[in-house]
A and B are shown apart, each in its own frame.
Chain A
């Protein structure tokens, strides 16, 4: 169950269109390290999580990622509204425009469509939390790369905010991993899958 709030997590108010930049930033909508993959990853990993506090964290971070998905879409939308045909042709936006006009569609900067293979649900809490931490770092690197391409302060502000959230989420997933490892039974020294293999090694009993 979710409810919607009619506001962004961080304000986006871009005055100057820039179709070239929009084509780079759309990667954080539907690219390999984008917010769609992030939210789907965490929200899908929740169900078989053996520890309630970790499933709760995945829910809360997955929910925040949906707010980030909306922020990225807003940035792309505001960078592409009021474009002239001349700007569309000159900026290299014509390839996107021909299929989607100025609608928002999940793809990577290079045009590759979003695909569930961009994230994993392994059903093993250690494996999944390691992936989650790596995913936050990859998204942070992508925002770093985007920031090197941006000089409009209206775009920099929200991108910097999104970058900062990747760092906080990385920290929280690291803490979740520590909590899980503390709970593992001493017999499960090599941390094999407490979601499946060995109920007693989950530390629950």
Chain B
């Protein structure tokens, strides 16, 4: 696995943790330790996605900073099998 694939793989894992925690918190809104986990992984996700966008391509429109080339449009699509 190259650096790009490794980072995308890790972003997938951290996002999954956040998806799982968000559903849990929807039905357990008073669980403070779950909220601490959520905040921790949320910061990690934001940092990793920013790094991925700067090095490779933007995963979301929000991270699509561009000047010469429309990088959002040039990014690979997930069904192509790029994500490992």
The reply to whether the CB of A113 lies closer than 8 angstroms to some CB of chain B is no
The proximity string for A residues 167-178 relative to B, scoring 1 for CB distances below 8 Å and 0 otherwise, is: 011001001100
Give chain A residues whose Cβ lies under 8 Å from the Cβ of B12. Answer: 7-11
Q: Contact at A13–B27, with CB atoms within 8 Å?
A: no
Chain B contact surface mostly = helix
The reply to whether the CB of B44 lies closer than 8 angstroms to some CB of chain A is no
The reply to whether the CB of A205 lies closer than 8 angstroms to some CB of chain B is no
Q: Contact at A7–B19, with CB atoms within 8 Å?
A: no
The reply to whether the CB of B81 lies closer than 8 angstroms to some CB of chain A is yes
The proximity string for B residues 47-84 relative to A, scoring 1 for CB distances below 8 Å and 0 otherwise, is: 00000000001111110000000000001111101011
The total of chain A residues at the interface (CB under 8 A) is: 29
Closest residue of chain B to A58 (Cβ to Cβ) is B26
Q: Which one, A6, A13, A53, contacts B60 given CB within 8 A?
A: A6
Q: Which one, A57, A64, A70, A169, contacts B78 given CB within 8 A?
A: A70
Q: How far is the CB of A194 from chain B (nearest CB, A)?
A: 18
The reply to whether the CB of A74 lies closer than 8 angstroms to some CB of chain B is yes
Identify the interface centre among A7, A9, A61: most chain B CB within 10 Å of its CB.
A7
Q: Contact at A74–B59, with CB atoms within 8 Å?
A: no
Q: Contact at A56–B84, with CB atoms within 8 Å?
A: no
Q: Contact at A6–B75, with CB atoms within 8 Å?
A: yes
Known A-B contacts A5-B60, A6-B60, A6-B76; A14 and B26 likewise in contact (beta carbons under 8 Å)? no
Chain B interface residues toward A at CB < 8 A: 8-9, 11-12, 15-16, 19-20, 22-24, 26-29, 57-62, 75-79, 81, 83-84
